[in-house]
Amino acid sequence: MNRIRDPKRRAALLLLGVVVLAAMFAMVEIQIEGSQGWAAGLPTWRIEQHWLLDLFWGGRPMTGYHAWVFPFMLLAFHLPPMMLSIWY
């Protein structure tokens, strides 16, 4: 197995991988959301009215899709610093 030992090259490859994954996820989002937007056409649970939705979501409904995608993206966003051990 040929390992990449140069830390800068490893970081660059990790960044490239994350950018490719982000682009692919963006395309998935476009296909899922479609012209209706905000998961309006998805067969999932949704909370239409709640005062916290007005505060944090601008009054838009909270769906099961968004309940899982937002934590996933939060974890994916923090993956590179964790993998590179540069978490401050």
Residue 23 placed within a domain: no
Instruction: Examine the pLDDT at 7 and tell me if it is beyond 70.
Output: yes
Residue 83 placed within a domain: yes
Which amino acid, 46? R
Query: How many independent structural domains does the chain possess?
Result: 1
CA distance 46 to 39: 10
In tens, the pLDDT along 20-57 reads: 988 998 888 888 877 777 777 788 899 999 999 999 88
55, 46 contact by CB (below 8 A): no
Cβ burial, residue 39 (10 Å; 0-12/13-18/19+):
buried
Q: Which domain holds residue 81?
A: 48-88
Residue 41 placed within a domain: no
